[in-house]
Structure 1
Amino acid sequence: MLVRIRSKDGNFRFELNPKDDVSKLVDKILETTQGADPSSITISNQPRGNETPISRLKGRTLQSLGLKHGDMVFVGYKSGPLSSPPDTETTDPSQPVSSTPHPTTNIWERVQEHPVDTYWRQKDGKISRNRDSRFCKHGPNGMCDYCMPVEPYDAAYQAEHSIKHLSFHAYLRKMYPKTSSSAAQALPPLTPTSYKVKVPCPSGGHPSWPAGICTACQPSPITLQSQPFRMVDHLEIASQDTVERFLQAWRATGLQRFGWLIGHYEPYEEVPMGIKGVVEAIHEPPQEGELDGLTLGLPWEDEPRIRELAQSATVPLTIIGYIFTDLEPTAEDRTKNVFKRHSQSFFVSSLEAIFAATIQNTYPTPSKSSTTGYFGSRMVTAILSASEDGQVDISAYQVSEQACAMVEADMIEASVEPGIVRVKEEDRSHESARYVPDVFYRYKNEYGIDVKKSAKPCFPVEYLLVNVTHGFPQNPSPLFRSTNFAIENRPGLEDQHVESLLGSLNQFSTSAQGSRELSNRVELAKWLSDWHLIVFLDSTQLLSKDDIKNLIRIVTSPGLTEDSKALDALVKTEGWQTLITFAHESAPSQPRPSSTSHKDQDIPPEVFDQIAAEEAASREVRTSRIKICPHCTFENDHSGSDCEVCGLPLG
């Protein structure tokens, strides 16, 4: 099973067996720490509180501790004496080692946020307004209540522009206290939601759950409500060809398909302090498609290599979400699809919502505004399904923090009805017992009255969803210019072979190294600028890791297809020259012309020379008697005086 570790050194993931002794977990923790004292290690199931010394758990198995696949373990420790002293010439022994965090530093102060978060933290985020000719009575340089800038979370602005959810940073501005106290401003306003029982109990007055429970350790009742903010405001797909290539697998087989979204995050100016995810490629992991679903293996074994490769692009890329198809042709018209996702059925099924929550829990977002250093997730769920007119359309969602917390506490499960989520029954039968607090949700009845209803045993899945807008850019400028190379993990449909790669490369190699024609260089640059080609080339080990990073950096650079010298930095490298040599050597050799066969090997060469001489003489005689008609230009091969075609004299 996969166990996640979070400590002051960062986040880590390890593969462990549920029957492993807790000592194996300790060994993994020590591998990630900076000079930790093993006797001081504590673990907890929540960011703050419930810390249990690891020494008290000796002889216990991970399964007996209640750990399941994907669980997060929060680790604390004290730094012990270093096994080897640092360089005494440059380090004062009386001072803390620079690689060891200062013990008084808060965890959120050491977080390295994404550049898009840094960008918005440097902005005031206020929305400027023009002078209102009806109400503003001042001059052009004045300002009043009708034209002064408003906060990014202003409710009137949100309603006027039909913005359902605040952006994350607009929500942060609303959450921070309006005070001049520097101490209050320094404290993070967010704490991740948790619905797990606190083990051990903070009061210490009874045995830990499931043996006992009290108000100090049990989670409070839950009231489901629409989340006021969203971590990502918009999903932009850089090129329509990317989606079309993804859809080709479904069109060819009728089986559903899944892919990870490779892209990056940028500021989104359409909403106050917004963030958008830009999709540059879709990477398809190993999977088994079915007519009404698919089977996917998690954790994804090739993920570390893909993430490292994506980081090497001109604009560092990462996994920003995933996409899958849910398409079914209609029986009446096979060119159209069944319209199944709408307000009268469901937008995201309960099974898909639980999967989305699992993915979002696995990839939290670093944040200086959270007491744990992490809050929420920017992983987006994109669905390709039928629109009302039967055409293929995209929709994008996230699930709420409440949904993520309920999945992490193992409280909900999918139901047969896709639009309904089931609340699990409480279970105290084993050490990994499940406690389910009261769950409620609100809705307006047929009389318009707000009603609070128990969510047990089930509730609508829409209470867990957060809508994300989506679209394509008006002037596309994707990092990858081509999507023609065979896509990975499509056995039998599209197969990737080294021979075909080298064969295609051989066609470009001469023009790339010798010719100075711009068109040849442009074609080679476009062919190389393909995510799937680069990923496959990296897996072949024909180029070193440094050469691959250099390649992806060059082929994602702006102006690549306009500058004939853009590839010089690539084609002059030793790795490229070696690759070209492989391409030449693997190219099929042209058959040498020969007039003999294996049956004529016993005939003396003099006989063939005589035959060749007679054939040459015959061709010469024939050529000498050919007469071209001056009227119709037909070549007459005869000794007559008139043309065989038009009948006019030849001379």
Structure 2
Amino acid sequence: MLIRIRSRDGNFRFEFQPSADISEVVAKILETSPDADPASLTISNQPRGNEVSVATLKGRSIKDLGLSHGDLIFVGYKPKPAVSEHAPSETTGVASGSTSGSAAKRPWELVKEDPVDEYWRAQSGKIPRGRDAQFCKHGANGMCDHCMPLEPYDAGYHKENSIKHLSYHAYLRKLTPKSSESASSFLPPLNPLEYKVKVPCPTGSHPAWPASICTGCQPSGITLQSQPFRMVDHLEIASMDIVDRFLQAWRKTGLQRFGYMIGRYEPYDKVPMGVKAVVEAIYEPPQQGELDGLALQWPWEDEPRIRELASHASTPLSIVGYIFTDLDPTPEDRTKNVYKRHPQSFFLSSLEVIFAATLQKQNPINSKSSPTGKFASRLVTAVLTGTEDGQVDVSAYQVSEQAVAMVEADMVEASVEPGIMRVKEEDRTQGSSRYVPDVFFSFKNEYGLEVKKSAKPCFPVEYLLVNVTHGFPQAPNPLFQSTQFMIENRPGLEDQTLERAMSELSRLEAPGLVPGQETYRKKDLAEYLSDFHLVAFLQTTQLFSVEDLNLLLKAVSSPNIMEDQSVLDPVLASDSWQTLMTFTREHAPRRPQTTAPDGSSSAMDEDIPPELYDQIAADNAAGGGGGGIRICPHCTFENTGGGSDCDVCGLPL
């Protein structure tokens, strides 16, 4: 077969057998490029990007690489380093056979992908179709073009179901169909966008930027366009209580709030090979809210701690995005909010887009389809803002890979008009090396014609947005059963204290008939402990060891904890829990002891005055054994029921 090779030394054609080893190709390259350093040789199926070192392709044949007759290979290399006259010559591991099997592993083969990615890679992704009553003329076991399954990237299906973006894995299937699966395993199809000048220049023919620049190191012109795929197709918040609890701070103060969404990624069946982010909790970092914005503590110091803690839930959790409020009550009716984010205004401001791009750049996913082993991000931006009828709703977005690359290259900046993004000027001054290529965007004019326009000095923000649908489950089943514990970093509004937690735990504990054999109202205790904010707070008290805290989180996030409270038994038997309850009992109000079985009076708590027992007797007499409040003489808790035994300790009233 004929293989074409293009390098800085020119274009060449060579004949190879399909079974020829890659080392034969390397030998031909070195013949045409005598100054090439064999260890630096790379090949690619694109003029720029997607380069793979030939040293990692040892033992592969041309056919295994997916190359066919007439294919063009782009070759890159660095000049051969100067060596002394007596120094031994070096050859690439592919040609000499010196590369070990472990060294042949490529970066993308070593990464561990998210479980949802592993799931979709194991599925066919085909869209099933039923028998067409009008066009299908075959038998029940037959199949034709009218009923055969569709590919997950089928354009007709997406248009018919109003799906604007391909899912990540449907996009991968479109780039790497089954016919070229072998090629895709060696030449990953996804290449992260890069708009920075390459320093040093790959050609090595001139001083590095900003002293000089050429076509080999400068980025190409940019045409802004809608991203064809999205990393997350749907945002699902596990319970309305999560959002309602987050909104309480705004309702009480009128100041905007920000929080990180803690959750996981799952398959989403409403989109072919779709992925959804499921939110189980919202953790609020240190911040200063304002009426029209907020200031965050940056970087977030607690992020490593919260990430590590969340990973030990019964279903491992991570940070799947962030959410913030942008609410402004209308002057006419304070119960309704201003409708400020809409098609005639903006959806995300230019400043918010830059913030989203920065976070997405810092949180890429592991991907076997990228030469670097990393690609894009699944971090979702959610906004709580007013709707057209004045109510509060969630809007969810991501920013495109073009937005991330432009922010990374320091090419754009926010403007005073929220719906407009500014393109920065090129800067070669001392200490700066910003290069800004030509940037264009296209739109339809008043005559319906597609027009391309320069994006300098500014362009609409929506060219950088990717829409994400959102919703709540019809039958909520959140991992955490409670949202009642105080929220962190709300000073003066909600203060997290150990005394408050111990007071609630004391209420949920009932004394046993034998000292030291205390019991618990298990179901109420399970519900109270099943709160991510409570577990995160207990971690800061230093009362729990790392192992016991992870055990606690795993137990309280168990899906069936309300039906089977026995999952709490290992926690209640742990040393850390016993330490916490020891502190709790020491700080709880002291109770009188019961009368001894022989009729003699046991030691009574001297801290409780005798008048209290007279009051207890009077209250019980007033209760008359029926309704009203009756105080138990044994544990001093109030009973509102009509039973003859205490609701807490179970002893006779």
TM-score w.r.t. length of structure 1: 0.75
Q: Secondary structure at the match of 1:507?
A: helix
Aligned-partner residue type, residue 531 of structure 2: D
CA distance in 1, matches of 2:207, 2:346: 43
Maintained 8 Å contact 2:538/2:544: yes
User: 2: CA distance between counterparts of 1:452 and 1:387?
Assistant: 33
Q: CA RMSD in A?
A: 2.5
Q: Which amino acid aligns with 2:367?
A: S
**Aligned letter for 1:451?**
V
Aligned-residue offset at 1:121 = 0.3
CA distance in 1, matches of 2:503, 2:518: 19
Is 1:192–2:208 an aligned residue pair? no
- Preserved contact between residue 177 and residue 185 of structure 1 (Cα < 8 Å): no
What's the offset of the Cα at 1:445? Answer: 0.5
| Corresponding letter in the other structure for 1:342 | H
Aligned residue for 2:388?
388
CA contact 2:49–2:191 (8 Å) conserved in 1: no
Residue 539 of structure 2 corresponds to residue 523 of structure 1: no
Amino acid at match of 2:493: L
Q: Shift of residue 300 of structure 1?
A: 1.0
Greater alpha carbon shift after TM alignment, 102-111 vs 358-367: 102-111
From the superposition, tell whether residues 450 and 538 of structure 1 become closer, same or farther in structure 2 (CA, over 3 Å): same
Tell me what 1:401 maps to.
401
Q: Which residue of 1 aligns with 2:535?
A: 534
- For residue 495 of structure 2, what is the aligned residue in structure 1? 495
For this pair of structures, how many residues does the alignment match?
Answer: 506
Q: 1:47 to 1:282 in 2, by over 3 A?
A: farther
Q: Which one is further off, 367-376 or 581-590?
A: 581-590
What displacement does 1:594 show?
Answer: 5.1
3-state SS in 2 of match to 1:376: strand
Q: Secondary structure at the match of 1:567?
A: helix
Which residue of the partner structure matches residue 356 of structure 1?
A: 356
**Deviation at 1:102?**
2.4
The amino acid that maps onto 1:587 is: A
How far off its partner does 1:595 sit? 7.6
Matched residues in 1 for 2:303 and 2:150: separation? Answer: 43
Q: Which residue of 1 aligns with 2:229?
A: 229
Please report how far the alpha carbon of residue 568 of structure 1 lies from its aligned counterpart in structure 2 after TM superposition. 1.7
CA positional deviation for 1:132: 0.2
C-alpha spacing 1:269/1:177, structure 2 compared with 1 (3 Å)? closer
Cα distance in 2, alignment partners of residues 181 and 314 from structure 1: 36
Q: Distance in 2 between matches of 1:525 and 1:47?
A: 54
- Trace 1:207-286 onto structure 2 (pairs within 5 A): 207-286=207-286
Report the residue type matching 1:528 in the other structure: L
| TM-aligned CA distance change 1:196 to 1:313, over 3 Å | same
Measured after TM superposition, the shift of residue 187 of structure 1 is: 1.8
Tell which deviates more after alignment, 369-378 or 508-517.
508-517
Structure 1 gap ranges (5+): 1-39, 41-45, 52-95, 597-614, 616-651
Question: In the alignment, is the contact (CA less than 8 A) between 1:254 and 1:291 conserved in 2?
Answer: yes
1:514, distance to aligned residue in structure 2 (A): 5.4
> Does the Cα contact within 8 Å between 1:262 and 1:320 map onto a contact in 2?
yes
Q: Which residue of 1 aligns with 2:366?
A: 366
* Deviations 1:582-608 (CA, angstroms, capped at 9, x unpaired): 100122446421589xxxxxxxxxxxx
Shift of 1:111: 0.9
Find the aligned partners of 1:167 and 1:181 in 2 and give their Cα distance: 19
Q: Is the 8 A contact 2:222 2:437 kept in 1?
A: yes
SS at match of 1:308: helix
Correspondence for 2:321? 321
Q: Is the 8 Å Cα contact of residues 511 and 521 (structure 1) preserved in structure 2?
A: no
**Equivalent in the alignment of 1:579:** 580
Amino acid at match of 1:169: H
2:557 aligned residue? 556
CA drift at 1:202: 1.0
Confirm or deny: 8 A CA contact 1:509 1:580 kept in the other structure: no
Question: What CA deviation, in whole Å up to 9, does each residue of 1:425-483 have, x standing for no partner?
Answer: 00000243100000000000111000000000000000000000000001100000000
Aligned to 1:545: 546
Q: Say whether the 8 Å CA contact 1:210–1:431 is kept in structure 2.
A: no
Which residue pairs with 1:593 in the alignment? 609
Aligned equivalent of 1:648: none
Distance 1:511-1:236 versus aligned 2 partners, 3 A rule = farther
Matched residues in 2 for 1:415 and 1:465: separation? 17
Give the direction of change, closer, same or farther, for the CA distance of 1:557–1:577 in structure 2 (3 Å limit).
Answer: same
Shift of 1:241: 0.4
Q: Counterpart of 1:88?
A: none
Q: Per-residue deviation at 1:535?
A: 0.4
Give, in angstroms, the shift of residue 206 of structure 1. Answer: 1.4
C-alpha separation in 2, matches of 1:340 and 1:511 = 56
Pairwise CA distance, 1:182:
2.3
Displacement of 1:178 in angstroms is 5.0
| Cα distance in 2 between the residues matched to 1:173 and 1:328 | 44
1:139 aligns with 2:139: yes
Distance 1:464 1:284 in 2: 27
Give the aligned partner of residue 61 of structure 2.
none
Deviation at 1:233, TM superposition (A): 0.3
For residue 179 of structure 2, give the secondary structure of its aligned residue in structure 1.
Answer: coil
Is the Cα contact below 8 Å between 1:179 and 1:185 reproduced in 2? no
Taking the aligned partners of 2:420 and 2:159, their CA distance within structure 1 comes to 29
Q: What is the CA–CA distance in structure 2 between the aligned matches of 1:299 and 1:501, rounded to whole Å? A: 29
One-letter amino acid of the counterpart of residue 277, structure 1: A
Task: Please tell me the residue identity of whatever aligns with 1:546.
Answer: E
- 1:153 is the counterpart of 2:153: yes
- Asked if structure 1 preserves the Cα contact closer than 8 Å seen for 2:422 and 2:457, the reply is yes
- Any conservation in 2 of the 1:47–1:372 contact (CA below 8 Å)? no
Indicate how the Cα distance of structure 1 residues 595 and 136 shifts in structure 2: closer, same or farther if over 3 A, else same.
closer
Q: The residue matched to 1:198 in structure 2 has which SS?
A: coil
1:162 is aligned to 162
1:380-437 superposed Cα distances (whole Å, 9 cap, x missing partner)? 0000000000011100000000000000000000000000000000000024310000
* Residue 413 (str. 1) matches residue 407 (str. 2): no
TM-score, normalising length: structure 2:
0.75
Which stretches of structure 1, 4 residues or more, deviate above 4 A after TM superposition?
46-49, 511-517
Cα separation, 2, equivalents of 1:434 and 1:563: 60
Show CA shifts across 1:568-623 (max 9, x none): 22212222122111100122446421589xxxxxxxxxxxxxxxxxx9xxxxxxxx
- What is the rounded CA distance, in whole Å, between the counterparts of 1:218 and 1:305 in structure 2? 41
CA contact (8 A) 2:442 2:450 kept: yes
Distance 1:440 1:495, change over 3 A: same
> 2:509 aligns to what?
509
Whether the 8 Å contact between 1:176 and 1:185 is mirrored in structure 2 is no
Q: What SS class does the counterpart of residue 356 from structure 2 fall into?
A: helix
Shift of 1:48: 8.0
Counterpart-to-counterpart distance in 2, 1:167 and 1:245: 31
Q: Which moved more, 1:552-561 or 1:460-469?
A: 552-561
Q: Residues 50 and 189 of structure 2 are in contact (CA less than 8 Å); yes or no, is this contact kept in structure 1?
A: no
Q: Does 1:459 align with 2:475?
A: no
Deviations for 1:242-295, whole angstroms, at most 9, x for unmatched residues? 000100111111111000000000001111000000000000000111111111
Q: Which residue of 1 aligns with 2:334?
A: 334
Helix, strand or coil at the partner of 1:434: coil
**Identical aligned pairs, as a percentage?**
65
User: Distance between the aligned counterparts of 2:177 and 2:475, measured in 1?
Assistant: 41
Q: Which amino acid aligns with 2:609?
A: P
- 1:438 paired residue number: 438
The DSSP-based 3-state class of the residue aligned with 1:250 is helix
Match of 1:550, as an amino acid? L
